[in-house]
Amino acid sequence: MVPYGLIFAETGGAFTEEGGVYVWTKMAFGRVVAAITSLFTWVTQPVWVGGAMAFVAVETWSEYVGHVEAGSLSDYLFKLVFIWITVTSAIVSLKHGKWLPSLGAILKVAFLTFFLIVTMVYGLQHGFNGLELGFFSPTLAGFLGVTPLLLFSFLGFESGNSAAGEMKNPAKDVPISVARSSMIAAASYLLPILAILLVVPLDQITGIGGLFGAVATVYTVFGPAAEVMLAISAVVFCFVLVSQGAAWMIISDRMQAMAAADGSFFGGFFGRFHPKLGTPIRVNTLSGAVATLFMLAAMQLSGTSSALFGVVLAIAISTFLLSYLLAIPAAVRLRSKYPLADRPFKVPVSDTGFRILGAICFVWILIGSWVAIFPGTLEVLFGLEYDFEATWGVSQFTFEAFALGTLGCILALGLVGYARGKKVRDAVAPVSATAELIND
């Protein structure tokens, strides 16, 4: 996390053109590599919103607010409404709609802080789980299992550059934002995990219900009001999911629109920004369509909600991490390719030291990408036991067919989109660092 934060704090402060990772990768390796990078970065968000966040939201709502029968019409409608509220929030301009992600971030921190305080009260009344030091000892199996999820959780803070046009001083704001976001994210993930371990029996912790299982446990301190408190917390949690999805979609959609305007995605059609809202409505709508299709596809998988969430999360992680296998080398190359660029923040190491930082990040991301796409293969290679169906809730064939099929569809979309962009590429300057916005 530290090498990654340093690399992108320097890169984001030095290269502040709107378009973020797309622009950086294009400057480093050319338009083709940039098109692939932006595609994988962008598509992660609709996959994540439609295939994971929507499932978590309906599961939480059904458990603590009002029952929603799995696979029923109400289940489909809930997920569709969730997806398109998220998309609509991204369509509204940042000038008028930034209150949603801002309010969501405030509520997230408030909810987690409240949860930690109540956990302390509960622990003082009922005692905490005894966690011996040996419990935290790292193992190879644990390392392989958590690497993709940790990387997914702690990457992406440089994405604000995609909306640099909305910043007053991106050269100053981006490095500070990367540092601040990294620290907040670390606290937001690690402290609740510790709280869950302290109050929930280890054999009862599940991936999809671990947080609210712990919330339900500690809220017993409220007595008869516990049920109402749980319902309120569940509603807040669902709102936070919408706001986070909208925040990421705002950023990734702008980047993909910049790529389209530059001729890297379907001939510039998706590169048009609304003249009044200033948002890429066509890409926003495409994101909603992709999220909807992915939700419908995920609903056809057999398995529990927890299993479906795990499979879709792995796919979202894989697309996100694959983009960094190109973005990290691009950031490293920019330092040596443009040594005279003004860098408000510069990592105090030589170019060789900077490359070493990049290599550390690259190896981590390579491992995470492989484990996300082909779980269980490295465990077998190292002689570790791995029960695929017990871990994922679906067969290995089903998982790989869904994962590789998704990646294949994404690559096909990218190839067709790039081919259709030839006329636009011929019309723009081949070495342009930033795309021209095509206004309606």
Range ranked top by mean pLDDT from 145-159, 291-305, 398-412:
398-412
pLDDT (0 to 100) of residue 145: 46
Q: Please name the residue that has the structure tokens 């083709």.
A: 32
Question: Between 292 and 301, where is the model more confident?
Answer: 292
Residue 359: predicted pLDDT = 95
Tell me the residue length of the chain: 440
Instruction: Give φ, ψ of 273 to 5 degrees.
Output: -105, 140
pLDDT at 25: 94
Check pLDDT > 90 for residue 285.
yes
**Residue ranges with strand state E in 252-407:** 272-273
Domains of the chain: 2-434 (1.20.1740.10)
Reply yes or no on whether the pLDDT at 156 is more than 80: no
| Dist CA 65 CA 237 (whole Å) | 11
Strands 438-439 vs 272-273: parallel, antiparallel or unpaired: parallel
Residue written as tokens 């054999």?
Answer: 203
More confident residue, 300 or 351: 351
Angstrom distance (rounded) from CA 376 to CA 145: 9
pTM of the model: 0.80
Per residue in 17-55, pLDDT (tens digit) is 777 889 999 999 999 999 999 999 999 899 889 988 898
Query: Alpha carbon of 184 to those of 9, 135, 147, 180, 321: distances in Å?
Result: 16, 25, 19, 6, 21
How is 160-221 classified by DSSP, letter by letter? GGGGGGG-S-HHHHHHHHHHHHHHHHHHHHHHHHHHHHHHS-GGG--TTTHHHHHHHHHGGG
User: Residue range 250-273: average pLDDT?
Assistant: 88
Tokens of 331: 């950031």
Q: According to the model, what pLDDT value does residue 146 have?
A: 46
Percent of the chain with pLDDT over 70: 77
